[in-house]
Amino acid sequence: MMPVGPLMIEHRLIEKMIRIAEEEIGRIEKRKKVDPRFVEALVDFIRTYADHCHHGKEEGILFRDLQNKGLSNDQKQILEELVEEHKQGRILTKQLAEANDRYAEGDPEALSVIVECIRKLAGFYPGHIDKEDGHFFIPVMAHFTAEEKDAMLTEEYDFDRQLIHEKYRNVVARWQSTLHEG
């Protein structure tokens, strides 16, 4: 089994959420308002699932293990592009979260920023996923032995098992710190 299998499966769920976000753009534009809870859910999905979980495994496991492999110049270029795209996705998600906070506080100007950010994210993910699925993941697997692939897969599963605990340890720590501030 290839360690990219779970990563590619994760892409399918990300694609589904992006399609929902695209549909939401139409509803926002029709109603001239947005449900901040939808945006919160989208931000949480992107930050937790797409970025921390999915990109975390790519960067922390696959990309890390590729550093000492003899990648072609094209593969090195794609790897650099993917890392930069992950950074851009984080920036867009941060902008979306900030605009949603402003909107929830009554800033009507934030609505257009929300739509713009969702539209950019909806434009970003399909191309990014296509680059990984169609041009990177499968070709770079040739650089690994079967044992290395198995070790990466085991590490990916361990990463997933710890993720929910990490998320909620952080939630508790954040709330604990607010109690001590007041």
**The amino acid at 152:** M
**DSSP code of 136?**
T
Least confidently predicted of 139-143, 150-154, 166-170: 166-170
**The amino acid at 68:** N
Report how far residue 58's alpha carbon sits from residue 51's, in angstroms, rounded to the nearest whole number. Answer: 10
The yes-or-no verdict on residue 2 having pLDDT over 60 is no
The yes-or-no verdict on residue 1 having pLDDT over 50 is no
The total number of structural domains in the chain stands at: 1
Mean pLDDT on 95-110: 97
**DSSP code of 1?**
-
Q: pLDDT band at 49, cuts 50/70/90?
A: very high
- pLDDT tens for 120-145 read 999 999 999 999 999 999 999 999 99
CATH number at residue 107: 1.20.120.520
Structure tokens at 22: 């695209």
- Please tell me the predicted confidence (pLDDT) of residue 171: 83
Domain that holds residue 28: 4-181
**Residue 35: helix, strand or coil by DSSP?**
coil
Report how far residue 175's alpha carbon sits from residue 169's, in angstroms, rounded to the nearest whole number. Answer: 10
Report how far residue 182's alpha carbon sits from residue 171's, in angstroms, rounded to the nearest whole number. Answer: 18
